[in-house]
Amino acid sequence: MPNIGWRIRRIGQSVFTLWAVLTLTFVLVRLLPGNPMGAMIEQLIRQGVNPARARELVSMRLSVDPNKPIPLAYVDYMANMLQGNLGMSMYYSEPVVDIIARALPWTLFVLSWSLFISFFLGVVVGALMAYWEGGKLDVGLTSWAIMMGSIPYYVLALLLLIFCAYRWGIFPTSGRQPTGVPPGFNWAYISGIVHHAALPVLSMLVASGVASLGMRGNSIRVLGEDYLRVARLRGLSDLTISTQYVARNAVLPMYTAFLISIGEMFGGSVVLEQVFSYRGLGWYMLSATYQRDYPLMMGMFTVITIAVVIALLVADLTYSFVDPRAGGQESESY
């Protein structure tokens, strides 16, 4: 049943989130103790720029005019943001938007592979564990999953870097594309990109550990349900039962966990890209934080948030296709 009202509300909610995030970045720039704006102006004055010029420079770079009263400055800021003007990076002396346009595809490339592999692996391993619950395979895989779940992704990343890159030299130690190969659709370049992305993607395999434990729990819960007993009594084939009854009902909660992990992985990209010096969004955001390059920092944060919001929106809207029960109804008020 197409639940149009719910979809419109869900889209409205995403727009609300984006507004809240833009407002938040404005508040961070303008009102926070030790505010970036004041810090930047001071820095420029210390470098010998005269105060009026310093204010002008800062207002251009942050797209917030320090002389205007706060409500007006807020309106200006929002207008700038909506036009895609995220200010100028102080450190790179380039529009923030340009830097983002260069970095975003790389982050999306690594993340989509990480998500796909960890989700797939989690579902398959979890289903195997549940099917042989209590057996040797279950105990072995559960230990594996607990181990994977206990390793922070950056610890696995560091281990992979130490062994696979530095010690054994199987993978490159840093960077995102092969050197000395012209970019384009040729085999050397594409395989080089995959080679560089392999370790960051593998680091996210830890996420499959937690996912498989979740999948195991769901499947076992489904295996105990009455409708499965009924299905068996009706003499349905094992194949029908396992795909139509068990898998379908066990994967649905996984999908929700998957949605939440999108946001977490975007956050995790900061650390991963630092470890592998992979120049994506996270790498630039971290470098901006070190340089106290506030326009770039806020711009990166805004873009990461927009990416997460869109990803969650798409996933949520498709979820109602997968699971007809989904879709929020208004609840009666007490």
Partner 1 sequence: MTNESDEPTAPGDGADPFADWEDPDRNADARTDGGNVSSPFEVVSEYEESRGDRLRKLYDTYVYAPIAIIWRDWRARIGFSIVLFYLLMGIVGPYLIDPTQVAEGPALVEPFQNWEYPLGTDNMGRDLLSQTVHSTSTILKMIASGALVTVAVGTLIGGVAGYKGGTTDTVLSSITDVFINLPGFPLVMILAALLPVGENPYMVGVLLSVGAWGGLARAIRSQVLTIRHESYVEAARGMGIPTHRIVFKEIIPQLMPYVVINLTNAARRVIFEAVALYYLAILPFSSSSLNWGVMLNQAYQEGAHYTAGALHWFLVPMATIIGISIGLILLGQSLDRVFNPRVRARHEKTTGEGGEPDADEPNEQNTNVVGGI
Strand partners, 88: 95
Angle between helices 96-131 and 136-150 (to 10 degrees): 160
Does residue 16 bind partner 1 (CB under 8 A)?
A: yes
Per CB under 8 A, the segment of 93-101, 129-137, 183-191, 326-334 that binds partner 1 is 326-334
Q: Do 86 and 286 meet the contact criterion of CB atoms below 8 Å apart? A: no
Does 264 contact partner 1 by CB under 8 A?
yes
Q: Binder to partner 1 among 8, 70, 147, 322 (CB under 8 A)? A: 147
Using rule CB under 8 A, residue 3 touches partner 1 = no
Site membership for partner 1, residue 220 (CB under 8 A): no
User: Cα dihedral sign for 240, 244, 250, 254?
Assistant: positive
Say how many residues touch partner 1, by CB under 8 A.
53
Q: Which stretch binds partner 1 (CB under 8 A): 74-82, 84-92, 120-128, 281-289?
A: 281-289
Question: Do 64 and 73 contact (CB within 8 A), yes or no?
Answer: yes
CA 323 to CA 268: how far, in whole Å?
Answer: 29
249 forms part of the interface with partner 1 (CB under 8 A): no
d(CA 139, CA 143): 6
Query: Would you say the C-alpha torsion 321, 324, 325, 330 has a positive or negative sign?
Result: positive
309 binds partner 1 (CB under 8 A): yes
Nearer to partner 1, 80 or 173 (CB): 173
> Which tokens go with 238?
């094992």
Can residue 327 be called a binding residue for partner 1 (CB under 8 A)? no
Among 28, 45, 78, 117, binds partner 1 (CB under 8 A): 28
Q: Of 88, 100, 123, 297, which one interacts with partner 1 (CB under 8 A)?
A: 297
CA angle 300, 305, 307 (to 5 degrees): 95
Least Cα distance to 29 among 213, 265, 297 occurs for: 297
Q: Assess 280 for contact with partner 1 (CB under 8 A).
A: no
Q: Which is nearer to partner 1, 123 or 206 (CB)?
A: 206
What is the rounded CA–CA span in Å between residue 141 and residue 139? 6
Q: How many residues appear in the chain?
A: 334
Q: Is 149 in the site for partner 1 (CB under 8 A)?
A: yes
Binding test (CB under 8 A) with partner 1, winner from 279, 285, 295, 296: 285
**DSSP at 224:** T
Q: Does 73 bind partner 1 (CB under 8 A)?
A: no
What torsion, rounded to 10 degrees, do the Cα atoms 17, 23, 27, 28 define? 50
Residue 95: helix, strand or coil by DSSP? strand
* 124 contributes a contact to partner 1 by CB under 8 A: no
Q: Which is nearer to partner 1, 161 or 211 (CB)?
A: 161
Q: Contacting partner 1 (CB under 8 A), which of 26, 36, 127, 219?
A: 36
254 contributes a contact to partner 1 by CB under 8 A:
no
332 contacts partner 1 (rule: CB under 8 A): yes
CB neighbour list of residue 317: distance below 8 Å, 6 or more residues apart = 7, 10
Residue that the structure tokens 């207002």 belong to: 59
The residues that touch partner 1, with contacts defined as CB under 8 A, are 13-14, 16-17, 20-21, 28, 32-34, 36, 146-147, 149-152, 154-155, 158-159, 161-162, 166, 213, 260, 263-264, 266-268, 270-271, 274, 282, 285-286, 289, 292, 297-298, 300-301, 304-305, 308-309, 312, 330-334
